[in-house]
Structure 1
Amino acid sequence: MNAFQDLMRIQTFRSCRNAARACQRLNMSTQAAGDSSRASPAITSGTGDISSTAFWGRTSITAQLWAERRKALVDIPDPTCASTPGAIKHRLKDDKTAAESRVVLSLPLKSDPLLRQQYENFRGGVRFGRILEDMDAVSGNVVFHHTLPRHLSLVTAAVDRLDLQEQIPLDEDLEFRGRLTWCGRSSMECQVALVSVGASSCLSSYLCKATFVFVALDPQTGRSTKVPTLIADDPDDERLFSEGEQNKKRRKHQQEHALEHRPPSEAEIHLIHEFFRHRAQLFQSVQPIQRGCDATTSSAFIEESCLPSPPQTGGASALAGGVDRGDPFVSLKSTQMQSVVVCHPQERNTRGKIFGGYLMRQAYELAFSTASMFFGPLATVHLYAADEIVFHHPVEIGSVLTFTAKVVYTPIDSGDSGSRGGSSRVQPPSLADHACQMKVACLVTHFGQNKQYLSNTFHFTFTSSLNGQGQGAAGTGNGCQGVHVRPESYEEAMEWVDGRRRFLRSKALSEGMPTEELT
């Protein structure tokens, strides 16, 4: 027994030592546009304090970013704090350039085997939930350095959009590139891209790109506070700032036309009525019973019996009633899956709350599991995009989180599918293949404070393709034939309509089409 305990202690020590070495080898740097003197000195690589329990369970990337942030808080006093000596007060700047807060951080998956182990998933690919954590940490450092020397509370309001252009390779050295793209009075928009080493500096060339929205709060009052104005000093900055303005208007437009505030459109109401009419016809007709799963329909959500959709003849009936080949359907609630986790101190961020990247990872991995169950064992599931991940309230340590995921929409008409442009790398299946729109809600229960509330909502778009086993059993084709979801109540109908809007928005954005009419 003593020998076994000694062996376990040695292995634990080696794991901690290897993680620390990987963290120290990370190459952190900034890129200044034209004037290197404007680069923030706090972004450069440093040792920092990586022994804090706040960094346990985080990747080496996130741990290093947080260590740099903590070091900057010590090295750069807040000039607005009364206890700061006047002799070392830093001059407050009313405006800054994007270069002053830009972050470029290497992710050497190919050249660093120890680091690669942190990101490998069960299929031998990249564990995307870890990438989400790192992107959240990178965006936090960008806005942190833009607001220095003030020590503000920076809250992630939302992940406005996340697009996965190509499958992330595990055998290549990559880079995180984060930059501020837009600033308002107290809100900021930051884009973080994951690119291959040596790729173009343009944010349009990426493997994965996410847009984060932050709000700056005064730590004393808890109210929103002014942040430095963003100076657009080159055409690229001006273009991104203009896109940020359009994103703000789009978010406002979508919020005003959300189903919580306005009823569905006439066309959407017609689709809902088609569901009702089709369901009434089903109960008035005799249909064969399909038992279990076969080689082409292998969803784990099909129970012992389910009614297949009768053939439709096109038009709105086909859109609501299923495709002509008669795929089966299930209700939205039958696809629901849950996970429950307890928030321990090891999952906190630099502000003492539960790390938003951890919440995104938990939600994504549940959504991925639900999509895998939905499409069945013959399919390989890929993330296509994430749309509007909203952080309603912070999560305290000690909270019990209940994540609930469900499929809220599946495209059942050729007009609802789309494709992406070609690339030399392996791409996720396009929306022309079988896909689904997933919604994940995070309910927080805090027994110590006797309260319960909705903390986050997440929206993911997944695609599927037949794996080797599925191609052998189900024949040829890239898409994975499966079931479709249909609402069975008014609440489910609203979720279906909202999911359809988000799915069509993903399609429109991938094709460079306007999205205002999709609300």
Structure 2
Amino acid sequence: MFMDLDALSDIIVLKHVGHGLTVVTAGVDRIELAHPLTEICDLEYSGMVTYAAGGSSVEISCKVARARDEGEPSRPEDLLLTCIFTMVALDPVTRKPVAIPRLVCETPDEEYLFQAGAARSLERRTERKTSLLEVAPDDEESALIHRIWLQQLKYRDRSHPLRQPPNVLAMSRTQLATAAIMQPQYRNRHQTMIFGGYHLKQTFELAFCCAASFAHARPTFVSADPCAFRSPVPVGSVLYLTATVVYTDPAVVEDDEAQDKINKDGGDSESPALTRVHVRVDSKVREMEHGTARVTGQFHYTFTVPKDVRVLPNTYEEYMKYMDARRRVRAGAKSHRSLPVAGRDGPNLTE
């Protein structure tokens, strides 16, 4: 499905810019599951350009819904998944970004979609300035880090009666990694680079396996956070993916009540909780001719599992991954952001 949506976005962009430019996937905004697919049925993919401000990038809003017979009206529960792709136009010779025609809004609905895209663009710039790579954790986060560290000291102190519950697992023990040669059949339209949808598919499948290995239960996909493709993946290169469970919600020692429950039953209660598991996938590529590896992106997926399980960071790097994921989960829950597509809270999309 991710591959189909990426391919659809490429077709839509070409209708906007023409066929004289090279178009590549630059990033994916939040992918959200609206309703689970519980039956075998035909699917309808649709999308449109919703934001292009005259720069080199353009946003395409897409959705996947159950297909209805001709003349049969769609229902809100038919909507399965929504997402937004960001595409960038490049000069086919110089490979440098070129300007994309500005989107003209002719109706209030189109203006609504355009302003939503502008708000997302501003939000992304703000998040980059306040990321943990730019600024230190705030006071609340620093206090939480200290509290988790103190809890670990109790677990390791042989004279202390408290022991690490069996449902709490160190972050370093949750990792899964793969390496694969990028074959020509996975290339994009421009022949030399791997199709972004295939890259996204590989990261999702590894994240699913990582969540399943961590919880020993079947995960249910909830959403994917915004991600950016930082470097292209050439045909013939080796793609390295590492998936890690970096956050669980409710999280370890977020509050006294939650910690008391963990210490009391170790997650073995008769009615296990439904836990959100946040998985981060780090992606790197290395070409055969030299040993230099380049970061191609970081991908963040959220699943739910029908068990009470927790992840525990130990090193400073793991604490930063934990806090970054915690910010992402809280931001998504706070805004409960729904993409402006049919069946949600905005105007319709047309093919």
Question: Which TM bucket (shorter chain)?
Answer: 0.7 to 0.9
Q: CA offset at residue 340 of structure 1?
A: 1.3
Aligned-residue offset at 1:282:
2.5
Structure 1 counterpart of 2:234: 396
CA pair 400-203 structure 1, distance change in 2 beyond 3 A: farther
Amino acid at match of 1:369: C
Query: 1:225 is aligned with what amino acid?
Result: V
Q: After TM superposition, list the pairs within 5 Å mapping 1:120-199 onto structure 2.
A: 131-148=1-18, 150-184=19-53, 185-198=55-68
Q: For the pair shown, which has the larger CA radius of gyration, 1 or 2?
A: 1
Q: 1:349 aligns to what SS in structure 2?
A: coil
Q: Confirm or deny: 8 A CA contact 2:239 2:285 kept in the other structure.
A: yes
Closer, same or farther: CA 158–204 of 1 in aligned 2, 3 Å:
farther
Deviations 1:31-64 (A, max 9, x none): xxxxxxxxxxxxxxxxxxxxxxxxxxxxxxxxxx
Does 497-506 or 203-212 show the bigger shift?
203-212
1:273 to 129, 146, 149: 146
Partner of 1:504: 330
CA drift of 1:413 comes to 5.5
Give 1:239 shift: 0.9
TM-score norm. by structure 2 comes to 0.84
Letter in 2 for 1:132: F
- Residue in 1 aligned with 2:215? 375
- Normalising to structure 1: TM-score of the pair? 0.57
Query: 1:489 and 1:455 mapped to 2: Cα distance?
Result: 24
Aligned length: 315
C-alpha distance in 2 between matches for 1:410 and 1:139: 32
For 1:191 and 1:202, the matched residues in 2 are separated by 19
Are residues 1:207 and 2:46 paired? no
Q: Which whole-Å CA distance do the structure 2 matches of 1:489 and 1:204 have between them?
A: 44
Provide the secondary structure at the position in 2 that maps to 1:395: coil
SS in 2 for 1:261: coil
Q: Give the direction of change, closer, same or farther, for the CA distance of 1:496–1:182 in structure 2 (3 Å limit).
A: same
Q: In 2, Cα distance between the equivalents of 1:509 and 1:173? A: 31
C-alpha distance 217-201 of structure 1, shift in aligned 2 (>3 A): farther
Structure 1 stretch 258-267 or stretch 502-511: which is displaced more?
502-511
Asked whether 1:341 is paired with 2:180, we answer yes
| 1:327-366 matches, cutoff 5 A | 328-352=167-191, 353-366=193-206
Q: For residue 308 of structure 1, what is the amino acid of its counterpart?
A: Q
Residue ranges of structure 2 left out of the alignment (5+ in a row):
256-272, 339-351
Within 2, Cα distance between the matches of 1:504 and 1:144?
36
Structure 1: runs of 5 or more not aligned: 1-130, 290-306, 310-326, 417-431, 466-479, 513-519
Q: In structure 2, the residue corresponding to 1:229 is in which secondary structure?
A: coil
Q: CA deviation at 1:502?
A: 1.2
Q: Structure 2 matches for 1:92-491, cutoff 5 A?
A: 131-148=1-18, 150-184=19-53, 185-198=55-68, 206-286=79-159, 307-309=163-165, 328-352=167-191, 353-376=193-216, 379-412=217-250, 433-465=274-306, 480-482=307-309, 484-491=310-317
Cα shift readout 1:285-315 (whole Å, capped 9, x = no counterpart): 54679xxxxxxxxxxxxxxxxx425xxxxxx
Offset, 1:400: 0.9
Write the distance in 1 (CA, Å) between the matches of 2:77 and 2:41: 19
Please tell me whether the aligned partners of residues 161 and 212 of structure 1 are also in contact (alpha carbons under 8 angstroms).
Answer: no
- 1:410-435, Cα deviation, whole Å (9 max, x unpaired): 1126999xxxxxxxxxxxxxxx8211
